[in-house]
Amino acid sequence: DGGITQSPKYLFRKEGQNVTLSCEQNLNHDAMYWYRQDPGQGLRLIYYSQIVNDFQKGDIAERYSVSREKKESFPLTVTSAQKNPTAFYLCASHPFGRGNQPQHFGDGTRLSIL
Amino acid sequence: EDQVTQSPEALRLQEGESSSLNCSYTVSGLRGLFWYRQDPGKGPEFLFTLYSAGEEKEKERLKATLTKKESFLHITAPKPEDSATYLCAADNYGQNFVFGPGTRLSVLP
């Protein structure tokens, strides 16, 4: 069954620690996205990638990093410099270039500070 | 700047009480307007795509409509299981979608 898998579902970060959120898709989609969702707020774009080995900053990329070494995978690292990382992180994919298609989402990772 | 807004921010309905959610968009061009449902602690689940003004899509108790400036999600005789946050998003021919902030719907038994 095709879809997007995010792991872990819950993640706890200590002060001074980088953490990496996993996102894997088997939909054969070219584009992948990372969003941050805070309580009562909409989705804010962190990074996106339309092709392997290439990615672009979104609206709130500062103190986050990504890589796109494989089409199926788009991990997000929340660096220790990110002062307020507590949020719900969503990964999405899209068959970029095949217009009029929705973005498909994973079930998210909730990151909290210890 | 392209923008999508949604109203109301939150809506409480009694079971069976029909209502509508609004999604207003200001974009340079619209390739598609998308509706999603999001349950607490889950990712958004795709509901509908609308492409052109006048188009309507239906699924069970939900019907989505589109005009040149806004989209409505009509909920007929809602049930408690329809409680969720409903998001709309516009594909403006850019490299990403423009998402609205969502409407949080609560349906009371």
Cβ neighbours, 10 Å, residue A78: 23
Query: Each residue of A72-114: pLDDT tens digit?
Result: 999 999 998 777 889 999 999 998 776 678 999 999 999 998 7
Averaged pLDDT of chain A: 92
CA distance A80 to A102: 33
Contact A48, A55 (CB under 8 A): yes
Residues of A with CB under 8 A from a CB of B: 4, 6, 33, 41-43, 45, 48, 50, 56, 58, 88, 90, 92, 99-108, 110
A6 neighbourhood in chain B, CB within 8 Å: 43
Q: Exposure of B18 by Cβ count < 10 A (0-12 exposed, 13-18 middle, 19+ buried)?
A: exposed
Question: With an 8 Å Cβ cutoff, are B97 and A103 in contact?
Answer: yes
Residue B101 backbone class (left: φ over 0; alpha: ψ -120 to 50; beta: rest): alpha
Query: Each residue of B15-45: pLDDT tens digit?
Result: 999 999 999 999 988 999 999 999 999 999 9
Interface probe, candidates A37, A50, A59, A110, chain B, greatest B C-beta count within 10 A? A37
Contact B20, B13 (CB under 8 A): no
Query: Each residue of B74-107: pLDDT tens digit?
Result: 999 999 999 999 999 999 888 789 999 999 999 9
